[in-house]
Amino acid sequence: MSKKVVIVGGVAGGASAAARLRRVDEQATIILFEKGQYISFANCGLPYYIGGAIKERKNLLVQTAQAMKARFNIDVRDLSEVVAIDRENRRVRVRNLRDQSEYEESYDVLVLSTGANPMKPPIPGIDGPNIHTIRDIPDTDAIKSFIDSSKPSKAVVVGGGFIGLEMAENLREAGLEVDLAEALDQVMAPLDYEMAAILHNHLRSKGCRLHLKDGVKAFETEGNRTVVELQSGKRIPADMVILSIGVRPNNRLAKEAGLELGVTGGIKVDECLLTSDPYIYALGDAIEVTDYVSGNPVLIPLAGPANKQGRIVADNITGRRETYKGTQGTAIAKVFDLAAAVTGANEKTLKKLGKPYITTITHSASHAGYYPGGSVMAIKTIYSPEGVVLGAQIVGFDGVDKRIDLLATAIRHRMHVHDLQELELSYAPPFSSAKDPVNMAGYVGSNVLNGDVKVAYWQEAMQADLQETFLLDVREPFEYEQGHIPNAVNIPLGQLRNRHGELPKDKEIIVNCQVGLRSYIGVRILMQNGFKKVRNLSGGYKTYRAVEDDMKQQG
């Protein structure tokens, strides 16, 4: 006997579950309740409609209620809010938002895809005029309408996460001045600081004013403008404010129904995405998931995992046992001309968890250097002392998506850095090099694990005690003169074999070049000439300079 399945919430997870369920079971009764008017839309595309990159609003609508009903024979009820769950009798109470009438609907299986709500902390004035969040189509319509009708000239974006960065870019594209306020010392929290520093410098070059380590204290209305007061006392007048502080799981229904919540506040589910009630599944931004690398409970609101979870839930409802194996947080964002991407664990998280790790930073060309149009990407690879890849971060102009997906696959399959160097990847001059950037990350990691080189990091070079450490720059003199680490001594690589006698053997030597390749050769020369305490600066002067420039701007 086919089941009656009630799904609460559409968009990525709920709509995906409904469509998959129908493909597997033609006889099931499927009802999808959606509080809003739009059951499936492109969340990630919303900022680009505001900025004008996406011209037609209709392109944001992935699926309409009418189209879904016609294609999948699903009873789609929009503007219908599920307000309560009666678990004992397996019924839900539904409010029709068109006329506020209420009724009950029975279910055999219930699926909760209630998503997440934008965070609005109790900051004085946060509900004032011209202060917007961006989570759905109505939010987007309100912002677009305000820009078109009021012609604002200045905006403040609060929060430097993915949506905040995308909104900053698109508001600049729409012609507005933009200030971005972030309580942390960096934007895009999944990145480690030195990688985020690259974004900071790029954002400033595009005219965005950054206020880091400076959260919002209050919002004040002055005439038609909103004044954003920061914790530092700085006051920024704006015609509009975009709140992008983050999201919280929408767990109200589950909590009031007595379903178990996780330690993060998300709905707790097992590996089959079943809640503490054997007749209720949950998925998407509303649930607590397992971090694929650490094994810890986390909240990771991303569209990709939500879609996969929808398919898994549908399969399990129809008797095909499928399990969700965790979320590794693979994500990418366009930040003006740059792309910034992450996957797996970052250094901050591993440090907090007390897990040992090694990191290396490489700077590789997106394609063969002799073919025009190439650009350099910074790749940070994080791996265990045994060499298992734990995480990766990439910031660059071209080819970032391809490389982060390779590294995400490596993490998913518990691959070793040695495996990265052995990957056979496509090569032609317009697309890559014979040694792809991912291969290069593998070579560098393998060199560290094999003991061919020890690495030093930008913090150590910046804070070096010159009584114990000697800083050696092996670039050419003209490069050195254009900028160098304070107190570093310049001996070009081509002269090092004849001049290594000038170096102290009783001090630790940190060697740098521009990106780490020439300095690696320098380290190998010194190690084979009796120097015991010598390390290569990971990421070279390029990484050091990005951090230094950012710190100077922050003051």
Active site residue 513: no
Length of the chain: 555
Tokens standing for residue 176:
């507005």
Q: CA–CA separation, 377 vs 496, rounded Å?
A: 28
Q: CA–CA separation, 511 vs 258, rounded Å?
A: 60
For residue 138, count other CB atoms closer than 10 A to its CB: 11
Pairing relationship of beta strands 29-34 and 4-8 according to DSSP bridges: parallel
Are 549 and 370 contacting, i.e. CB atoms less than 8 angstroms apart?
no
Are 298 and 305 contacting, i.e. CB atoms less than 8 angstroms apart?
no
Q: Enter the DSSP assignment of 268.
A: P
- DSSP per-residue string spanning 420-442: HHH------TTT--SS-HHHHHH
- Annotated catalytic residue: which of 44, 208, 272, 513? 44
CA 284 to the chain's CA centroid: 16
Strand order in the sheet with 4-8: 75-78, 29-34, 4-8, 109-112, 280-282
Tokens standing for residue 171:
């508001």
Q: CA–CA separation, 131 vs 126, rounded Å?
A: 7
Catalytic residues: 44
